[in-house]
């Protein structure tokens, strides 16, 4: 990895993920697959696999579940040495049952009273942000607890102080809070964000912007004044706005194996390339390629190589041109 | 469960179900999944999960396989205390290999000489029918043996005596008998049925009705004179006729995980709602929702909650309206 | 089941049990086996499998995990219709890693803030105790929360009022409370117990009795004045005292598959036979046979039949005699 | 394989074998391992793996289960081209639950009305016996049905006619017949046997010989006048008698993985070496080595090579000598 | 099997096949499924399952992996008695990760220095070709090593000498050699082929024929002058040319479970029927049916019966006609 | 981790490990468990888990198997950033079948032509040794290839130059070379070793020392003049010699789950504690505790925490004292 590799610190909760297989319900299961899932660590892992330098900050209970989480993140080369370990609290869990139409995929969270929700914002050595290009977190972390919200705010202010960029995905989760609560908490935070990532649904429902996608993205830009704002459009690709110019990337044709983590893969692709080159178009293209690839990989975690992503990007370009 | 919950006794055979995974052939398998399957117990389980009171009558061999069957039915709250246990005979089995086009899904039965096929109709305490709203059985039970046929006939006459409604699904199985044998045995029985359930294929091939769906359902109504007759139309939904009026329910858009048990889920939905409210339209709607949901659940057994079914019904309604 | 079958109501928490296979550590696992475990439901299941009539009272969260727990108890014929369902709180979990020397088997609890810990003692319809021979609970339930402790106290006083016997196992768990806390809470409760079950270790460390086993059991009898007191001796069998007379049962030779639940199986065997016949010697013998058999069955739950237990009892007797 | 390789035709039933894992009960299982088991095919497979030429005669239903059986025997190079295929009847099954003390390993047979039980003895092309050194079958085949018994008798008389040796293992199974029925059927058959194999328990309980092992083996020899009689002694090894001389082989020290098939492996080892060399001592030694090795292999089928067996024989010899 | 059954000897490498499940990446796996794969043994197995007589020649290392390969081929009745066993070299391996769009299915070969690549062409008893109707091999075998290429050449010349037909599939693999290398090696070989099988892509890229499918097939026929040339067209079916006449078979509608081995199944179907009847149209039809069916079966190996293939052929015919 | 944490660089090959489950043979398997195994990475992982700082140097092929190896080492916090990646060669493999008496556990290596065997000793940045307390490698690495041997020699001389201690385990493997070849290669190397680890069998058979354990260890000390020499004694514990003084540690009572990796765990325990404290007795005690614990953990890799090891050490001490 050259010294030019972009670098990021991600901050948030990672849960143990239990899932059934072959579309079974939990009530039918005799075994559950165990893995990890957490938007910020998903981001950090994908970022590291692209070739970036990534660290993940969190707080974990010192038991086999906590070590499981740290192991599975470190496995990809993400630095977990700044995680705070405790003998108290618990490791959050989530359960997932994959559905087929008309049965929806269902997620059950059991994450209350986790170690990170009880974090003391001052436990974290925020000075490490100095050594990284960006600090990344999401609305989920803000929603976890008042302490987490404070930690996000301190982290952002430290990043500002150190000249580290702030990357933030709104990532609204209805099982954690209402759109109104989310807006109230996030609105002041977003004003300090450099790279603002948001889905069109969250933009409409939480941030209350309306109109065409162009209208929406301009409104966000004007309201929060970030360096760049990215509006992800699901099956319609993604759009970004920087310096008054709109960029757009087309979606890939894809078949879904596991949708979870696709948004995080997008974020990692965008932020990695944006930090590396400053080129919004390239960044958007890497983002949508990462998101498409992520749909084909079981689990939250992005098991891929940069070469594989480059291959699908080349092939698409080729297909379109010829 | 309020005292108003509808109640039903189902009578028939439940087999051990062995299945391969991931579209493997049995000849390739090293392990087979073990479960249960039987149209009447599938019905009773789905009925109980909707909130009804359900019992299942059968005869089982007192060995681990027989206990397995009873356990897996009782698990859902179905009363199996009236099952007759014996040290003789055997538990029927079936094997299933799921296919993809052009390879058909294949079922191999190994159910000869099962305990229920050797039932003495007088072993059953038919007086329990008094305490239930309906008695449900199907053409499969009639096909199993002369003894089973007699038991069905006695059960129906007892139900009539007690004012318990008779619900009957034709459920033709070509591996058990010919259409002609089926017709000969079922024709007199159907004259005593209150709720007559039949697929369009069985109506044509076994009951020998023809013409448009409307023609078919009217012919059946005139011939057997049930309180209500239901014609299920596969991917076209379902239709019912009561008091000279035709009702129709549209099918759901669905993706198939496991088709087995979808007809039983329909029956449970229809009969549950019909007994509860007497409303044919509501009953048909619950039936098609149950059938659609059943397609997404691995195995014969309907692992769902009433709330989940109500949610997909609401969502469809909503989608249509908006 | 004849009307003479003994009957019991058990009250307590049942958790989801996650376990690794083949002596793996959780950190190595890709899948965890999912089952249930809870001392009182283990007891109720074993009691029902012996032929008794059993109900289990608890409070469960209405989600797939809560339904999983209820299903797996109901599967054995235990009445779960008195369970209180809620949309709040969570289902307790525990994780188990089996060890081999010198690595100990390790249990990790994640049961805080479970539905039952938040139970309102008055939610329970204690009047159902009228229809049962005994009310069974353990020190674990008392340890869960102040609310649970109150529920136990009310349950016991109701049992007394209805002439229902109180069966109680001290079941000390160091991860829930200290010996001193346990003693303080349990000491007054034990004075109202009819069938007092305790291991020699709990007797020494929690109830602070000392001396020979005979001394210990007499001390307990004098202090708490139960109808019968049972001291289980691990690999040395078990001992009981009633009406001043000491009874003793020899242990079985056994190989361990899964030790968890063996104590509960002992309790079920003893209480079932004691309620049925009043014969302490027979009850002790059934208890030790049940405990031995339980060591050979994976999981908390006692998958066995009365005939199987009678067979091993006959064979031992036979071996000794010949 | 040189032309000197000994050769054998085995005749009998092979069933599908369903087993649970990790000492689970069938009632707990979600999956069962599927394999095959049948004493004569176990013998033929072990014989072929030692380097012999082996054929297996039977009758099988032409469905995936029947093909599964034939495949798994052919896999080892056993000739199954003489198997009679039918579209009728069924493939026999057996279920096995492994136990630990005091819970015994339990086998449940579901083999009634299998294809072979319905065999017409004249369906078999007995002339193939001409091309083999020996014809091997067991008391189990005799017990299956009157037809099977006749087929065994015809096979033996054909073998006599062709100068093919008759190898026979008494193999008493209490779930198939009583000792008295077995004795009545087998007594005349054993008079025509050349290589008579019997366990000490079957010798006592079925063939009603008594006294010391030496007494027993001499009595059998005098009564049935075989070329050689072998008395297997379980954990005490094995003994043989030929031409008035007694031979003895010591057992191996062993740890049990799966006991099923160990007797068949012994038979294959003995008969293979006896046919090859005529040396009773060598044959006994190969037999006990095969039996010991078989205890360590999961399943009925003897997955091993001759080199592996020779290695353990050499090592033991070495250990004893030094 | 009647004496008229067509017969074939196939020559080539069979590897151990490791695959992940449920679209997992190898980096995520905790277990890999183990099977076998090799184009010529796939062919021989499918040929034998259709009712033909098939032998497979190769060289294998005498260890569990080599025996695994031989067992899994012999299981289907293919004669492996001419395989050459060695204690040297290794068994080739390949790893497969199934993908979903846009992630391609990926194969990783680890087959260098396998036993067959080190074969001495004179080790093989080529005289066995006398007793077979055809000798089948492919371009993969030629690519493995210079020794393998020589063995193919000798085999073909021996076949010519014995009047045994030569069947050859170009089977280009880019991981083994370049199109140019392939052309150089195969061009002289193809001049001695009787049944020439090639995909449209290999025809274009390796054999460098161009134009319409008709042009391509005529060019091949003129250039190599085989008895019959078959051009497979993927999702467009297949085409053949014999005696100046073009035949064509339509593809089946199909859903993909595992594409690997479909070409081999086509070849087996075509060659089997062509040898049996000489009817090119029938042969093409059996080929496309086999290929379609093969797409639905997990693994390289064609687990099917002739009856199953005949059923799908009848059903298609039926569907089209009515 | 405090700055006082001892640190080590390990150098060697890590293979993919394929294993069967439940004592199955490979020929029976349908799935193989996939993991990693390599004595030096096992050492580095165990060292890191104790709290040390560890790096692992090797050469890996850049494919999913190579990444799998690196991931599974990095997961435990071992630094793999100095691994050399190549697109050539292959990743070594080994297969393991666990046995029970009298069947031995069997290992099949398929490691020829691996990337590390083709390493250029100068590819490695040996300067990193400066930053570590010790350099650890074993006789296996020396045996892999002439290149590896040279790399070991260079590594050792660099370590000497930097004042980094050299830790070396003889680790003789009969499948790689003969005792004579091993002795010839290792004898000069061992003269430069600071911490010399050897089993009593390797000491006798390879290093050709004889007499009592005391004699043996003194002979080694005199011959190679290391700072400390450790003789591991299997079930008799371990012995060390430093400054003329002999130290001894008693073995633990243990039950075996998986023996592989126990020697590596011993080495890690000894070296960690020796580097940390210089106390030979403490180091030996940690070594035997680690080795005992390793026997209970499936796989090569030491999934444990320092706290767990300290607990079993305390308990033993406690048991002995009381």
Instruction: List, as one string, the DSSP characters of B120-163.
Output: -GGGS-GGGGGGSSEEEEEHHHHHH-HHHHHHHHHHHHHHHHHT
Put simply, the answer to whether F31 touches E31 (Cβ < 8 Å) is yes
**In chain A, which residues have their Cβ closer than 8 Å to the Cβ of B292?**
102
Contact in structure between B168 and B195 (CB atoms under 8 Å) = yes
Report the CATH number of the E7-321 domain.
3.40.1190.20
Put simply, the answer to whether C65 touches A108 (Cβ < 8 Å) is yes
Distance CA B166, CA B198 (A): 14
Is C292 touching D (CB cutoff 8 A)? Answer: yes
Which superfamily is assigned to A8-321 in CATH? Ribokinase (3.40.1190.20)
Q: What is the average pLDDT value for chain A, to the nearest integer?
A: 96
Distance CA F51, CA F306 (A): 7
Put simply, the answer to whether A25 touches B297 (Cβ < 8 Å) is yes
Is B30 touching F (CB cutoff 8 A)? Answer: yes
Task: Check residue C318 and give its pLDDT.
Answer: 57
User: Is 3.40.1190.20 the CATH number for D9-321?
Assistant: yes
Task: Pick left, alpha or beta for residue C77 (phi over 0 → left; psi -120 to 50 → alpha; otherwise beta).
Answer: left
* Residue from the list E28, E99, E101 with its beta carbon closest to the beta carbon of A299: E28
Distance CA C59, CA C82 (A): 9
Put simply, the answer to whether B33 touches D31 (Cβ < 8 Å) is yes
Q: Kindly name the residue from E79, E133, E194, E264 that is annotated as catalytic.
A: E264
Instruction: Give the mutation candidate from C34, C77, C249, C257 for the D interface (greatest D CB count, under 10 A).
Output: C257
| Paired residues of E53 in beta bridges | E7
* Residue from the list B23, B101, B102 with its beta carbon closest to the beta carbon of E298: B23
Is D253 touching F (CB cutoff 8 A)? Answer: yes
The residue written with tokens 């006959």 in the block is C314
Contact in structure between D151 and D119 (CB atoms under 8 Å) = yes
Task: Check residue C2 and give its pLDDT.
Answer: 43
Task: Check residue F197 and give its pLDDT.
Answer: 98
pLDDT score of A2 more than 50 = no
Which pair of structure tokens corresponds to residue D283?
């044959």
pLDDT score of C312 more than 60 = yes
**In chain B, which residues have their Cβ closer than 8 Å to the Cβ of C67?**
305
A-C contacts (CB, under 8 Å): 67
| Share of residues in chain D with pLDDT > 90 (%) | 96
Put simply, the answer to whether C103 touches F303 (Cβ < 8 Å) is no
Minimal CA separation from F34 to chain B, in Å: 19
pLDDT score of A307 more than 60 = yes
pLDDT score of E91 more than 60 = yes
Is C30 touching E (CB cutoff 8 A)? Answer: yes
Q: If you measure CA to CA, which chain E residue comes closest to F96?
A: E64
Is E312 touching B (CB cutoff 8 A)? Answer: yes
| CATH class belonging to F10-321 | alpha beta
Is D100 touching C (CB cutoff 8 A)? Answer: yes
pLDDT score of B2 more than 60 = no
Is D30 touching A (CB cutoff 8 A)? Answer: yes
Task: Check residue D316 and give its pLDDT.
Answer: 82
Question: ω into residue F102 within 30 of 0, thus cis?
Answer: yes
Which E residues, 58 through 87, put their C-beta within 8 Å of a C-beta on chain F?
A: 63-65, 67-68, 71
For chain B, give every domain's residue range.
7-321
pLDDT score of A136 more than 90 = yes
Residue A318 Cα to chain centre, angstroms: 30
ipTM of the complex: 0.95
- Over residues A231-283, the pLDDT tens digits come to 999 999 999 999 999 999 999 999 999 999 999 999 999 999 999 999 999 99
- Over residues C150-189, the pLDDT tens digits come to 999 999 999 999 999 999 999 999 999 999 999 999 999 9
**In chain A, which residues have their Cβ closer than 8 Å to the Cβ of C22?**
none
Which pair of structure tokens corresponds to residue B313?
């019904």
Model confidence at D317, in pLDDT bands (50, 70, 90)? low
Comparing CA positions, the residue from F24, D255, F304, A29 lying closest to residue C23 is F304
Crossing angle of helices D280-294/D39-50, nearest 10°?
A: 110
Contact in structure between D12 and D38 (CB atoms under 8 Å) = yes
Which pair of structure tokens corresponds to residue B272?
């549950």
E87 is known as an active-site residue: no
Q: What is the mean pLDDT of residues E177-188?
A: 98
Put simply, the answer to whether E27 touches F67 (Cβ < 8 Å) is yes
Calculate Rg over the CA atoms of chain A.
19
Three-state SS string across A62-115, please? CCHHHHHHHHHHHCCCCECCCCEEECCCECCEEEEECCCCCCCCEEEEECCCEC
Which pair of structure tokens corresponds to residue F68?
């799998």
pLDDT score of A86 more than 90 = yes
- Over residues C1-51, the pLDDT tens digits come to 344 799 999 999 999 999 999 999 999 999 999 999 999 999 999 999 999
Task: Check residue F316 and give its pLDDT.
Answer: 82
Q: Are strands C245-249 and D31-37 parallel, antiparallel or unpaired?
A: unpaired
Q: What is the mean pLDDT of residues D299-313?
A: 97
* Residue from the list D67, D75, D305 with its beta carbon closest to the beta carbon of E74: D75
- Alpha helices in E95-227, H assignment, sequence order: 139-144, 146-162, 179-190, 200-205, 213-224
Distance CA A70, CA A86 (A): 13
Model confidence at C321, in pLDDT bands (50, 70, 90)? very low
Put simply, the answer to whether F75 touches A77 (Cβ < 8 Å) is no
Minimal CA separation from F174 to chain D, in Å: 17
Q: Which residues contact B46 (CB under 8 A, 6 or more apart)?
A: B264, B265, B268, B269, B290, B294, B302, B304
Q: If you measure CA to CA, which chain E residue comes closest to D77?
A: E74
Q: Which residues contact A297 (CB under 8 A, 6 or more apart)?
A: A257, A258, A261, A303, A304, E23, E25, E28, E103
Instruction: Give the mutation candidate from B102, B105, B256 for the E interface (greatest E CB count, under 10 A).
Output: B102
Partner chains of F (3+ C-beta pairs under 8 Å): A, B, C, D, E
Put simply, the answer to whether A75 touches F75 (Cβ < 8 Å) is yes
- Over residues E293-312, the pLDDT tens digits come to 999 999 999 999 999 999 99
Minimal CA separation from D210 to chain C, in Å: 19
* Residue from the list D65, D91, D110 with its beta carbon closest to the beta carbon of B90: D110
DSSP characters for B117-129? GG--GGGS-GGGG
**Which stretches of chain F score pLDDT less than 70?**
1-3, 317-322
Minimal CA separation from C161 to chain A, in Å: 39
Q: How many CA atoms lie within 13 A of B18 on its CB side?
A: 26
Q: Which residues contact F252 (CB under 8 A, 6 or more apart)?
A: C101, C102, F288, F289, F291, F292, F312, F316
Which B residues, 105 through 124, put their C-beta within 8 Å of a C-beta on chain D?
A: 108, 110, 112-113
């Amino acid at each position: 990895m050259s010294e030019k590799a972009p670098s990021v610190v991600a901050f948030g909760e990672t849960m143990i993920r239990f899932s059934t297989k072959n579309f079974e319900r939990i009530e039918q299961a005799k075994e559950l697959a165990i893995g990890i899932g957490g938007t910020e660590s998903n981001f950090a892992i994908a970022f590291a696999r692209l070739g970036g330098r990534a660290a993940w900050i969190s707080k974990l209970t010192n038991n086999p579940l906590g070590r499981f989480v740290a192991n599975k993140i470190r496995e990809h080369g993400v630095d977990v040495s700044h995680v705070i370990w405790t003998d108290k609290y618990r490791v959050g869990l989530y359960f997932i049952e994959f559905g087929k139409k008309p049965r929806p995929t269902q997620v059950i969270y059991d994450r209350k009273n986790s170690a990170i929700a009880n974090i003391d914002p001052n436990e974290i050595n925020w000075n490490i942000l100095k050594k990284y290009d960006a600090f990344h977190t999401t609305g989920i972390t803000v929603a976890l607890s008042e302490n987490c919200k404070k930690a996000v705010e301190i982290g952002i202010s430290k990043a500002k102080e150190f000249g580290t960029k702030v990357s933030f995905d709104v990532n609204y989760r209805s099982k954690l809070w209402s759109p109104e609560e989310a807006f109230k908490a996030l609105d002041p935070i977003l004003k300090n964000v450099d790279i603002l990532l948001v889905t069109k649904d969250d933009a409409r429902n939480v941030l209350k912007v309306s109109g065409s996608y162009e209208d929406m993205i301009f409104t966000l830009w004007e309201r929060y004044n970030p360096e760049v704002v990215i509006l992800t459009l699901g099956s319609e690709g993604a759009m970004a706005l920087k310096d008054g110019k709109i960029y757009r990337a087309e979606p890939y044709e894809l078949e879904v194996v596991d949708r979870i983590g696709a948004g995080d893969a997008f974020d990692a692709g965008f932020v990695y390339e944006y930090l590396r080159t400053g080129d919004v178009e390239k960044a958007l293209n890497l983002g949508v390629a990462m998101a498409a690839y992520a749909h084909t990989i079981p689990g939250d975690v992005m098991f891929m190589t940069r070469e594989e992503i480059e291959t699908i990007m080349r092939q698409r370009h080729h297909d379109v041109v010829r």
